[in-house]
């Protein structure tokens, strides 16, 4: 096509140039004759017309090319270059220019589609991403906007709301050195893995910071380790205690046969053996109670009517003899339904409410328990159980969820550990803090 256009263009240029030369020659020849005055004027006009036609022919190509370059420079790919019927290969030139504009237009559409795709991937990525450019922090996707909702402003200092460690990571401390950072999310302390990288943008350097919640994974590892330890310990203890218990009961039966109350030493021995048997049964019962911790709860989720669920828990609370004389307040704030296992979660809340009532009864003149449901800023459901008891000392707030740990003389240390397992199995979180006005506040986020 290029050769065809070149040949036709040269041919058109040649005959126009030849015509101009011939006309100039005739015009010069007419200047030597005095009887052709009018003809000289006509010949001069014809020469000018031929020169203009030659200039227009050459300039047409320049104008089309200039229009094409302007279209590229300003990104106006809607231009057309259809010049068919003008001859001399300009149809071929128009095809080339039109084809080039079409390819540029298609490439722009592909680039726009690719940018939209990458923007959608970035915005919907499950990991929270932030950009830090000259001290300005921007939340780059939905995950970041759901996670970081407590601060105001775009400076690094504004993010100290989430802790000094997180602000230091934004400052540049996490570049090529991922670190574990504590961060409060939805009112519950979480452990985040914060990492950063430096990328080029518009000739400058921008830090991209990734914030990945890993508390769930850490909890799962911890629960699995606890379960394995408890399973081994209970197995070994029960294997050792089973024959001891059996022999103790056999000894009790034998001592009862020979103890007729005539010999004080025999009576004392019988009582000692009976005490030994009771303690052996107590140890077996204690160990058996912990075997349930080693089994992960099986979650059967379904939608729960939160209003009806809360009223049911309130009815159970008021019907119990242990809670007589203790006030109860239920608040359901904009939470119509919750997707969870109603049986397991009811058991968790019943235990927490019972503990709250016990703590309030022994401390406050007017003991009271509060149960509330609400939405967090990220859209999750928050359940709070509060009391006006003595509260939980800060030094014990992590220990109370551990197996075997209890502050009650009659406690087994199973209740809160099981509650934590159930909540974690729902991919949720549980924590304890202070109630405003005094007392303990247990917060569950699902």
pLDDT in tens, 142-190: 999 888 888 888 999 999 888 888 888 888 877 778 888 888 777 677 8
Give the pLDDT score at 1.
46
Q: pLDDT tens, position by position, for the chain (446 residues)?
A: 444 545 555 666 676 677 767 767 666 766 666 666 666 677 777 777 777 777 776 666 677 777 777 777 777 777 776 654 444 445 566 677 778 888 888 888 898 899 899 889 989 998 999 999 988 999 999 999 888 888 888 999 999 888 888 888 888 877 778 888 888 777 677 888 999 888 888 778 899 999 988 877 777 777 777 677 777 777 777 778 888 888 888 888 888 888 877 888 888 888 888 888 887 887 777 676 666 666 667 788 999 999 999 999 998 898 887 888 899 999 998 889 999 998 889 989 998 999 999 999 888 889 999 999 999 877 889 999 999 999 999 888 878 887 767 766 555 566 788 888 888 888 888 999 999 989 999 999 98
3.40.309.10, 3.90.1150.10, 3.40.50.2300, 3.30.565.10: CATH of 302-445: 3.30.565.10
CA 85 from centroid of its chain's CA atoms? 62
Residue 241 · residue 280 · CB < 8 Å? yes
Find, among 171, 177, 176, the residue nearest to 155 by Cα: 171
Put simply, whether the predicted model's pTM sits higher than 0.75 gets the answer no
Q: Which residue has the tokens 């040269």?
A: 10
Same fold, 125-213 and 302-445: no
261-282 pLDDT tens trace:
788 888 888 888 888 888 788 7
Q: Kindly report the three-state secondary structure assignment for every residue of 213-276.
A: ECHHHHHHHHHHHHHHHHHHHHHHHHHHHHHHHHHHHHHHHHHHHHCCCCCHHHHHHHHHHHHH
Give the pLDDT score at 410.
59
Angle between helices 37-73 and 90-124 (to 10 degrees): 20
Residue 140 · residue 131 · CB < 8 Å? yes
Give the dihedral sign, CA 230/236/241/243.
Answer: positive
Domain ranges of the chain: 2-116, 125-213, 218-294, 302-445
* CATH domain 125-213 topology: Beta-Lactamase (3.30.450)
CA 255 from centroid of its chain's CA atoms? 67
């Amino acid at each position: 096509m290029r050769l065809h256009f070149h040949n036709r263009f040269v041919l058109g240029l040649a005959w126009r140039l030849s015509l101009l030369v011939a006309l100039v020659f005739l015009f010069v020849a007419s200047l030597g004759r005095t009887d052709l005055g009018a003809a000289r004027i006509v010949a001069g006009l014809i020469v000018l017309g031929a020169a203009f036609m030659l200039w227009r022919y050459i300039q047409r190509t320049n104008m089309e090319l200039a229009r094409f370059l302007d279209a590229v420079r300003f990104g106006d790919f809607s231009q057309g270059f259809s010049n068919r019927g003008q001859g001399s290969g300009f149809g071929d030139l128009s095809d080339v220019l039109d084809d080039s504009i079409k390819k540029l237009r298609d490439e722009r559409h592909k680039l726009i589609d690719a940018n939209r795709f990458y923007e959608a991937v970035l915005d919907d990525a499950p990991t929270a991403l932030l950009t830090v450019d000259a001290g300005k922090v921007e939340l780059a996707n939905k995950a970041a906007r759901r996670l970081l909702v407590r601060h105001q402003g775009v400076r690094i200092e504004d993010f100290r709301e989430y802790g000094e460690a997180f602000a230091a990571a934004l400052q540049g401390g996490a570049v090529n050195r991922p670190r574990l950072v504590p961060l409060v999310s939805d009112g519950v302390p979480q452990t985040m893995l914060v990492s950063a990288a430096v990328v080029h943008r518009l000739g400058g350097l921008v830090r991209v910071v990734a914030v990945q919640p890993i508390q769930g994974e850490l909890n799962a590892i911890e629960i699995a380790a606890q379960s394995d330890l408890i399973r081994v310990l209970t197995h070994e203890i029960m294997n050792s205690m089973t024959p001891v218990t059996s022999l103790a009961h056999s000894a009790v039966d034998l001592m009862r046969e020979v103890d007729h109350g005539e010999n004080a030493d025999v009576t004392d021995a019988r009582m000692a053996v009976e005490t030994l048997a009771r303690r052996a049964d107590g140890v077996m019962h204690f160990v058996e109670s912990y075997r349930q911790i080693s089994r992960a709860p099986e979650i059967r989720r379904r939608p729960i009517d939160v209003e009806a669920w809360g009223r049911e828990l309130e009815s159970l609370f008021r019907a119990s003899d242990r809670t007589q004389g203790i006030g109860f307040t239920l608040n359901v704030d904009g939470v119509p339904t919750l997707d969870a296992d109603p049986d397991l979660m009811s058991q968790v809340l019943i235990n927490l409410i019972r503990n709250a009532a016990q703590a309030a009864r022994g401390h406050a003149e007017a003991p009271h328990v509060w149960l509330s449901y609400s939405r967090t800023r990220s859209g999750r459901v928050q359940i709070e159980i509060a009391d006006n008891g003595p509260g939980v000392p800060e030094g014990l707030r992590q220990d109370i969820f551990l197996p075997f740990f209890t502050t009650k003389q009659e406690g087994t240390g199973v209740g809160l550990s099981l509650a934590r397992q159930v909540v974690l199995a729902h991919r949720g979180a549980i924590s304890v803090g202070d109630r405003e006005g005094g007392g303990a506040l247990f917060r569950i986020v699902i």
